[in-house]
Amino acid sequence: MATGVRTASAGAAALRGVAAVVVGVGSAELVAGLLPSHPSPLAAVAGALVDIAPGWAKELAIEWFGTADKAVLVAVTVVVVLGIGAVAGLLERRRPPSGSWVLALLGVLALLVPAVRGTGVLGLLPGLVATVLALLVFRLLPQVGRRARRAPGVSTARFAPSEDGSEPEPEPEPEPGSGPDREREPQPGGASRRAFLAWAGGLTAAGVLAAVAGTTMSGLLRTRDAVAGVLRLPRPRTTLPPVPAGAELGIDGLAPVVTPVADFYRVDTAFIVPQLSADDWRLRVHGLVDAPFELGWEDLVALDFEEFDMTLMCVSNPVGGSYTGNARWLGTRLRPLIERAAPHAEADMVLSSSVDGWTASTPLEALRDPDRAAILAVAMNGEALPPEHGAPVRMVVPGLYGYVSATKWVVDLEVTRFDERTAYWTDRGWAPRGPVKLQSRIDVPRVGRDLSAGPTSIAGVAWYQHVGVAGVEVRVDGGDWRPAELATSLGVDTWVQWRLDWEAEPGVHRIAVRAIGANGEVQTDARAGVVPDGATGHHTISIGVA
Ligand SMILES: Nc1nc2c(c(=O)[nH]1)N[C@H]1C(S)=C(S)[C@@H](COP(=O)(O)O)O[C@H]1N2
Ligand SMILES: [Mo]
């Protein structure tokens, strides 16, 4: 057989597998889109990958891709699955039906992974539809080429995979001399090749469309749920006054004092955002307590709700980093709930779990402290919590990093002891307790952006949740530390904006910042990485002035 024929065959064989896989993935996304609380097999597989990935791999992914880490993972998963499709097509061509088996195995994965992740019987539907359609396309696509080949007036061609995907049998040729040379004739091979390509292309396009429609649909259903969520929010007993004008310096490039929900950083291990409705939500309070109890949504909203300004901080935030945000939360205090359960004297920790099994270890004293507003939050900035930020209920505890306190989709509070239970990140080398460290950040001038000489501002934010920030100092080119002007503070639990006038002269300048805590502590310049309990050091930038 001539190489030209073989090459064309290989391409068609791979295309056959890819088309089958795209139809499978697309139909699964479409079906999953109609069942918004059930992830598509693709999402389930990617989620499983997150779960089984070692801690260092996850940290690397966050470091390289930041909050785009999940998008990158989806892209990689899609590419791998397409690759498997192509390989299946090529295998089928060599040794049928080995390619069909590869696809069937992929189908088993699409069925098993969502099942193992506990999505219920309905959760099997996307994988089932995907497997059936992918196999149908895989088996039937080659027949399209054949049928066209058999059509009157159209002679044989050998580039389309045969029905079983094997190397096409050399068919008895009526005319002599019609070997591989015919391949170059436009007419004979053209019709069946075109038919095959048209079908393969059309089916692939349909698969992509189905995937787009499916993801759009689940997005729309989610928005509908979010709107319904706002209507069910409890009314706060006490509200906060509007954010005072003096809290927002309004400097271009400076982080706004209240972070819009859409810009709020997101850090979690949940590849599939749990879709937990208020109706399905229940909270169990138990463990080393005299009076365990459970709460449903209606019990929850009957409690006292208040508004709280609090800045959330991720322990993985490097010095100068952006894994932090400030919101006005609507919540109810955890303290009365913990007291109601009557913890035993020996208890010193509350292990909170989310619906997907993630856990955080919060010191019990932080939740019982009358001076610390540890809450169960249901809304941020006037919006019901979006699923990404923990709907319908999450924890927020001022002064503790998120990994030991800010459990999203929280469904379980177990009163226990640090020497008895450990939490998700503790098991991966992070400190069991994570008090927030005194820190400050320079937002303006922006690194990498040209600055022209003349009067300008140096500005940023500083935080020491639960303690408060008393001052911020700035040092330019190793000179004296100069006090910055602080904006109006929203309270000890939030960051505060700061600014300093600066006469920028041409050249390269180094600017450093440090904060002073309300307890007199001066932010250390000793550099420490984020592991195991949060970064330290002064945020220092180099700025070129023209
Ligand atoms: N269920 C669950 N809750 C979680 C996490 C998680 O992985 N799963 N991550 C925590 C971490 S490390 C942080 S920093 C905060 C981030 O909250 P956000 O995504 O709303 O900004 O959520 C915390 N709550
Ligand atoms: Mo975090």
The predicted-structure confidence for 331-382, as pLDDT tens digits, reads as follows 999 999 999 999 999 999 999 999 999 999 999 999 999 999 999 999 999 8
**pLDDT confidence of 225, banded at 50, 70, 90?**
low
What pLDDT is stored for residue 7 in this prediction? 39
d(CA 461, CA 441): 5
> Could you tell me which of 337, 338, 334, 310 has the C-alpha nearest to residue 324?
310
Encoded tokens for 380: 């941020």
* pLDDT for res 189: 58
pLDDT for residue 115: 75
Q: Whose CA is nearest to atom 12 of ligand 1?
A: 403
Type of residue found at 384: A
Regarding the beta carbon of 407 and ligand 1, being less than 6 Å apart is answered: yes
Tell me the mean pLDDT in the region 262-276: 87
Supply the pLDDT for residue 119.
60
Mean pLDDT of 88-110: 91
**CA–CA distance, 57 with 50 (Å, rounded to integer):** 9
In short, whether 268's Cβ falls inside 6 Å of ligand 1 is yes
Residue 396 reports pLDDT greater than 50: yes
Share the mean pLDDT of the chain: 86
List, for residues 2-31, the tens digit of each pLDDT value. Answer: 333 333 478 889 999 999 999 999 998 898
Would you say the CB of residue 43 lies under 6 angstroms from ligand 1? no
Ligand closest to 325 (CA) is: 1
Alpha-carbon distance 134 to 138, whole Å? Answer: 6
Say what the pLDDT of residue 279 is.
85
Supply 126's token pair: 């996307």
* 408 touches ligand 1 (CB under 6 Å): yes
Task: State whether the beta carbon of 269 lies less than 6 angstroms from ligand 1.
Answer: yes
Residue 274 CB–ligand 1 contact under 6 Å: no
- The answer, yes or no, to whether any atom of ligand 1 lies below 6 A from the CB of 273, is no
pLDDT confidence tier of residue 118, bands split at 50, 70 and 90? low
Measured from the CA of 425, which atom of ligand 1 is nearest? 12
Of all ligands present, the nearest one to the C-alpha of 316 is 2
Atom 15 of ligand 1: nearest residue by CA position = 402
Which stretch, 84-93, 258-267, 283-292, has highest mean pLDDT?
Answer: 283-292
Nearest ligand 1 atom, CA 314: 14
Q: Give the integer Cα–Cα distance in Å for 335 and 79.
A: 48
| 314 Cβ below 6 A of ligand 1 | yes
Helix (H) or strand (E) holding 453, with range, is none
pLDDT band at residue 57, thresholds of 50, 70 and 90? confident
pLDDT of residue 282: 96
213, with CB counted inside 10 A (0-12, 13-18, 19+), is middle
Predicted confidence (pLDDT) at residue 54 exceeds the cutoff of 90: no
Ligand 1 in contact with 266 (CB < 6 A)? yes
pLDDT at 185: 31
CA distance 523 to 514: 6
Alpha carbon nearest to ligand 1 atom 5, residue? 268
Residue 391 has pLDDT above 50, yes or no: yes
Confidence of residue 66 (pLDDT cuts 50, 70, 90): low
Q: Lowest mean pLDDT of 55-59, 209-213, 312-316, name the range.
A: 55-59
Does 402 or 144 have the greater pLDDT score? 402
User: How far, in Å, are 172, 256, 382, 423 from residue 226 at the CA level?
Assistant: 65, 24, 12, 30
Ligand (nearest to CA of 531): 2
Average pLDDT score over residue span 99-117: 86
Q: Is the CB of 308 under 6 A from ligand 1?
A: no
At 150, the pLDDT band (50, 70, 90 cuts) reads low
Q: What spacing in Å lies between the alpha carbon of 251 and ligand 1's midpoint? A: 29
Closest residue by Cα to atom 13, ligand 1, is: 402
CB distance 352 to ligand 1 below 6 Å: no
How far is it, in rounded angstroms, from Cα 373 to Cα 408? Answer: 17
User: Of 326, 396, 408, which is best to mutate to test ligand 1, by the most ligand atoms within 8 angstroms of its C-beta?
Assistant: 408
Tell me the CB-side half-sphere exposure of residue 59, using CA atoms within 13 A: 16
CA of 324 to the centre of ligand 2 (A): 9
Give distance in angstroms: CA of 245 to centre of ligand 1: 30
* Residue 352, strand partner residues: 360, 413
Q: What is the pLDDT of residue 190?
A: 73
Is 152's pLDDT higher than 90?
A: no
For 426-480, write each residue's pLDDT tens digit: 999 999 999 999 999 999 999 888 799 999 999 999 999 999 999 999 999 999 9
Residue nearest to atom 19 of ligand 1 (CA): 266
Report pLDDT digits (tens) over 154-195.
433 333 334 344 444 444 433 333 333 333 333 345 778 888
403 in ligand 1 pocket by Cβ < 6 Å?
A: yes
Do residues 310 and 493 lie in contact, with contact meaning Cβ atoms separated by under 8 Å?
Answer: yes
Above pLDDT 70, what percent of the chain? 86
State the closest ligand 1 atom to the C-alpha of 403, by its place in the atom list counted from 1: 12
| C-alpha–C-alpha distance, residues 23 and 416, integer Å | 49
Please identify, by atom number, the ligand 1 atom nearest to the C-alpha of residue 269.
Answer: 7
422 lines ligand 1 (CB under 6 A): no
Backbone angles phi, psi at 403, to 5 degrees: -70, -15
Residue 68: the pLDDT is: 67
How much is the pLDDT for 8? 43
Q: Is the pLDDT of residue 77 over 90?
A: no
